[in-house]
Structure 1
Amino acid sequence: MNLEIISQLNQSQVKDLVQLYQSTWWGKGRTLEDVEKMLQHSDIIIGINNSDHQKLIGFARVLTDYVYRAVIWDVIVDSAYQKQGLGQTLIQSILDHPQLQLIEAFLLVCLPETIPFYEKLGFTSDVGELKLMKRVKGSTNF
């Protein structure tokens, strides 16, 4: 299997990404149009392309100020390629990215069952008193 790390997606790979999102509980319903817009406004994207099949099989993206914080989003590996170290490759590619070497802290959101995976890569769930908050589109609680 010939794999390549990529930092830009062609149109076929964007369609593959939409399919990857459809395979997740949190990305179902994402449309091609929305994913294209999201990619335009992500600071860094990392993909893993299977050159043998010309197919995107892994993806992650980063939003950052390039100094203090970088937030890692949407870490996905095609289910047929999981348990092969590709998730670790995605994260390590982000951590080693030349444009992110000044970052003071990398942040990400994950499910409890994935905490051990991220801990192996140097992340901690000990964030002190910090709490994650969200506001959903259309919310009128103020």
Structure 2
Amino acid sequence: MFSRGIISNFRTPTLPFPTCKFSVSDKDLESRGFFLRRTISDLNLDHLNSVFVAVGFPRRDTEKIKLALEHTQSILWVEHKKSQKPVAFARATGDGVFNAIIWDVVVDPSFQGIGLGKAVMERLVEELLEKGICNIALYSEPRVLGFYRPLGFVADPDGIRGMVYSRKQKKKK
């Protein structure tokens, strides 16, 4: 299992996110065979779970995934037109007013490097900022922290140190 790091931007991102001005437009995504989705309807949780596993997350119970998504404030995922499967995904939870945490940012390995992760993150951050939420944190694998920095995220801003409660797993006998 990977160790997870917390990075946040606890203020407006350093890069501007003007409305409807993204590195890859919705029209360009569609012309390349991808559709942006913002609800869990039509999201195949088994396929999403496969993407989670492909990037190194543990396999999750799909009923628990569904429950988590029902309690998620913002969801954005990219569907591949031909396969009708999710190929990129991110979600945010929070209090809906001041704070949000971005979780489960994934891009299917066979679709990495073509801008889908950036497209999802730009839109998710924009949505949160439009709601007035500017304290945005996320969990990230240490090996991909460099992906988030150009999007305005920084590690430990102003010396803030995040902590996570973690119950030790009991060893099976």
TM range (shorter): 0.7 to 0.9
C-alpha RMSD of the superposition:
2.1
Assess if the C-alpha contact under 8 Å between 2:74 and 2:92 holds in 1. yes
1:35 aligns to what? 65
- Please list, as runs of the form range in 1=range in 2, the aligned pairs for 1:5-20 lying within 5 A after superposition: 5-10=36-41, 13-20=44-51
**TM-score, structure 1 normalization:** 0.85
Answer yes or no: is the 8 Å Cα contact 2:98–2:132 preserved in 1.
yes
Structure 1 window deviating more from structure 2 (89-98 vs 10-19): it is 10-19
After TM superposition, give the deviation of residue 15 of structure 1 in Å: 2.0
1:52 matched to 2:103? The reply is: no
Give 1:50 deviation, angstroms.
0.8
Aligned-pair CA distance for 1:108 = 0.7
Match of 2:8 in 1: none
For residue 93 of structure 2, the aligned residue among 41, 63, 74 is 63
CA gap of 1:6–1:12, structure 2 versus 1, over 3 A, is closer
What does residue range 1-142 of structure 1 map to in structure 2 within 5 Å? Answer: 1-10=32-41, 13-25=44-56, 27-97=57-127, 100-127=130-157, 128-136=159-167
Q: Which runs of 5+ in 1 are unaligned?
A: none
CA distance in 1, matches of 2:81, 2:153: 31
Mapped contact 2:73–2:96 kept (Cα < 8 A): no
Quick one: distance in 2 between partners of 1:7 and 1:89?
13
**Residue range with higher mean Cα deviation, 97-106 or 27-36:** 97-106
CA-to-aligned-CA distance 1:27-49 (integer Å, 9 cap, x gap): 32302111111111111111101
Distance apart, 1:126 and its partner CA: 3.1
* RCO higher in structure (CA 8 A, sep ≥6): 2
Report the Cα distance in structure 2 between the residues aligned to 1:88 and 1:33, rounded to whole angstroms. 28
CA deviation map 1:112-138 (0-9, x unaligned): 221221110001113313232223287
Provide, for residues 57-77 of structure 1, a one-character-per-residue CA deviation record: whole Å limited to 9, x for no partner: 011110011221110000000
With structure 2 as the length reference, what TM-score do the two structures score? 0.71
**Residue 103 of structure 1, CA deviation:** 0.8
CA distance in 1, matches of 2:60, 2:98: 30
